[in-house]
Amino acid sequence: MARVIPTRTMRTVRPATQLFSNRRSMAQMLRSVLTGCYRMSVVTTVVTFAVLAYIVSPFDLFPDFSSPYGFVEDALLLILLIKVWSNETHRYVRFKVMERKQRGC
């Protein structure tokens, strides 16, 4: 019998699967950002740097070694980062479609 996954779990997993399936678009987006052809939204940039700085920094709200809450906290921040990057990748794909329509390709 097939295992049923609750919808709440699927809402959390969906951005990660979309981001994985759009990994080529994400790589193209990163190249476009580095070359200056595309600007990420301010929210995406701020969330990315804030989450990465928080995960890398030794100061945590809940230390990782004291309780499992520290790992849960880091996992929630990574989920937030995945959702933001998934939305930004979709925004980039729309940008490329509009760019192609304007060029008439």
pLDDT value at residue 14: 66
Q: With 90 as the cut, is the pLDDT of residue 42 above it?
A: yes
Which residues lie closer than 8 Å to 44 by C-beta, 6 or more apart?
Answer: 84, 85, 87, 88
Summarize the confidence of residues 18-45 as an average pLDDT: 85
Q: How far apart are CA 25 and CA 23, in angstroms?
A: 5
Q: Is the pLDDT of residue 77 over 80?
A: yes
How far is residue 32's CA from residue 37's CA, in Å, rounded to a whole number?
5
Q: Find out whether 84 and 40 touch, Cβ atoms under 8 Å.
A: no
pLDDT of residue 69: 73
pTM score, two decimals? 0.70
Identify which has the larger pLDDT, 51 or 103.
51
Q: Is the pLDDT of residue 13 over 80?
A: no
DSSP-derived secondary structure letter, 62: S
